[in-house]
Amino acid sequence: MTDALRDEVRAWLAAHWTGPAADEAAARAWLAKVVEARWAVPRWPVEWGGRALPDAEARIIEAEFAALGAPGTGQDRTNLYANTLLAFGTQALKERLLLRMLRGEVPMCLLYSEPNAGSDLAGLRCRAERRDGQWVVNGQKVWTSYAAVAEYGMLVARTDWDAPKHRGISFFFCPMRQPGVEVRPLRQITGESRFNEVFLTDALIPEENLLGQPGQGWAVLQTALAYERSVMGEAARGPRSGVAEGTGEPPLIALAREAGRLGDPVLRQDLARVLAYRALNALNTARAKADLAQGTSSPLMSLGKLAMSRILHEEARLRTAILGPESLFEGPEHPRAEDANFLTLNAYFTSIGGGTDQIQRNIIGERVLGLPREPEVDRDLPFRQVRSQ
């Protein structure tokens, strides 16, 4: 079966893959072919465009695609929106959105954090009330990537104020293109505005867009966060110019070679340590994903996410050390320095997004190492009795 599957994938790629897409339309056309051939989500049930394959065989498909640089497969591990919808969505919502998501036709965003509910996300106060067969949402969200272009946002909102804070939350697919949704960009330290704050004023959500049961959205959220941390633990945004990329060797080594510092024994030791961290993190992430069954969460994902955060900070430090005084420059005429400074600042995104480093340490301590939970005096109180700032 393994050899037959590999031959089938290779033959299909030979017949259809012609190289990287020239534009967005071509990229989507390619994804449509991958979805139609059932390569996009091979672990998923056949009913939803998959092949119901075990992980070992799905990895064969991914390896053959990766060997040619062809995208589109492995979305049953990496597409956090589609995986969350498959696990918890209503039949009607899945029929309407799942295949479109796999084809890259549904831009999405995450409506989780609030101004006073970031690290303690269960303290959120965005309100959703059921009226006339639909949900009406009022509140504010912040640090939302792609909110300005999203068709839907995965929204957590409070629906029961008499339940304890973790048990009164519901999870929705919120339509973003409606009058009740206002998006305002936030300027970042890198000079970009990739994040936004979102204001919801009587925004409407159809009943079928509820994922899971009312008041049980915390469990849905944990699954969505596990997929998000998996992606963040496996990959991260690279430099903006990419001048040291594409040489066939790790970018840091290429940069050190170009700067004439690859013979420095102290620097070589630092480089070896970072490369070893990356290799170890890749193995840990693979282990965590192997343990992640559809519709569940895994605390092991927090290890990978925390490790990637530390790796990015260390790599940024090394870039600066390699460049020396040159790192003080900025602007397009100094692309290596521009990259080093951008990556130094952008490393904080991974330290914060998807749950801060401190939150990951709490999860690892409690759910991986079995240490006692931190005290929460308001954990079992009805939420309307919980004090707020």
Query: In this predicted model, which residue has the larger pLDDT, 239 or 86?
Result: 86
Please give the pLDDT value at position 358: 87
95 is catalytic: no
Decide: 306 and 354 in contact? Cβ < 8 Å.
no
Q: What is the pTM of this model?
A: 0.80
Residue 272 predicted with pLDDT over 60: yes
Note the pLDDT of residue 84. Answer: 96
Name the average pLDDT for the chain: 88
pLDDT digits (tens, 9 = 90+) for 20-36: 999 999 999 999 999 99
d(Cα 157, Cα 167) in Å, to the nearest integer? Answer: 11
Instruction: Please report, for residues 234, 281, 346, the alpha-carbon distance to residue 284 in angstroms, rounded to integers and kept in the order given.
Output: 10, 5, 23
Mean pLDDT, range 299-316, rounded to an integer: 84
**Is 386 domain-assigned?**
no
* Cα 273 to Cα 265: distance, rounded to the nearest angstrom: 12
Chain center to CA of 324: 33
The 8 Å CB, 24+ separation contacts for 24-33 are 27/71, 27/104, 28/103, 28/104, 28/105, 30/70, 30/71, 30/72, 31/71, 31/72, 31/102, 31/103, 31/104, 32/103
Evaluate whether 117 touches 125 at the Cβ level (below 8 Å): yes
Residue 37 lies in a domain: yes
Kindly state whether residue 203 falls inside one of the protein's structural domains.
Answer: yes
Greater pLDDT, 223 or 245: 223
**CA-closest candidate to residue 8, choices 77, 47, 76, 64:** 64
Length of the chain: 389
CATH number at residue 328: 1.20.140.10
Confidence check: pLDDT of 294 > 80: no
Query: Containing H/E element for 5?
Result: helix 2-16
Q: Is 121 helix (H, G, I), strand (E, B) or coil?
A: helix
**Structural domain range at position 209:** 108-217
Same domain for 181 and 240, yes or no, is no
Residue 197: beta bridge partners?
184
Specify if 94 maps to a domain.
no
Mean pLDDT of 43-56: 95
Q: Are residues 129 and 59 in the same domain?
A: no
Above 60 in pLDDT, residue 240? no
Percent of the chain with pLDDT over 70: 91
| Nearest one of 141, 148, 311, 321 to 237, comparing CA atoms | 311
210 and 247 in a common domain: no
The CATH number linked to 166 is 2.40.110.10
Looking at per-residue pLDDT, the higher value among 351 and 291 belongs to: 351
Which of 49-58, 174-183, 277-286, 346-355 has the weakest average pLDDT? 346-355
**Which residue is catalytic, options 114, 228, 234, 338?**
228
Domain count, the chain: 3
**Looking at the predicted structure, is the pLDDT value of residue 246 above 60?**
no
Q: List, for residues 177-186, the tens digit of each pLDDT value.
A: 999 999 999 8
Question: Is residue 371 left, alpha or beta, with left meaning phi > 0 and alpha meaning psi from -120 to 50?
Answer: beta
Looking at the fold, whether 201 and 240 belong to one and the same domain comes out as no
Residue 299: pLDDT above 90? no
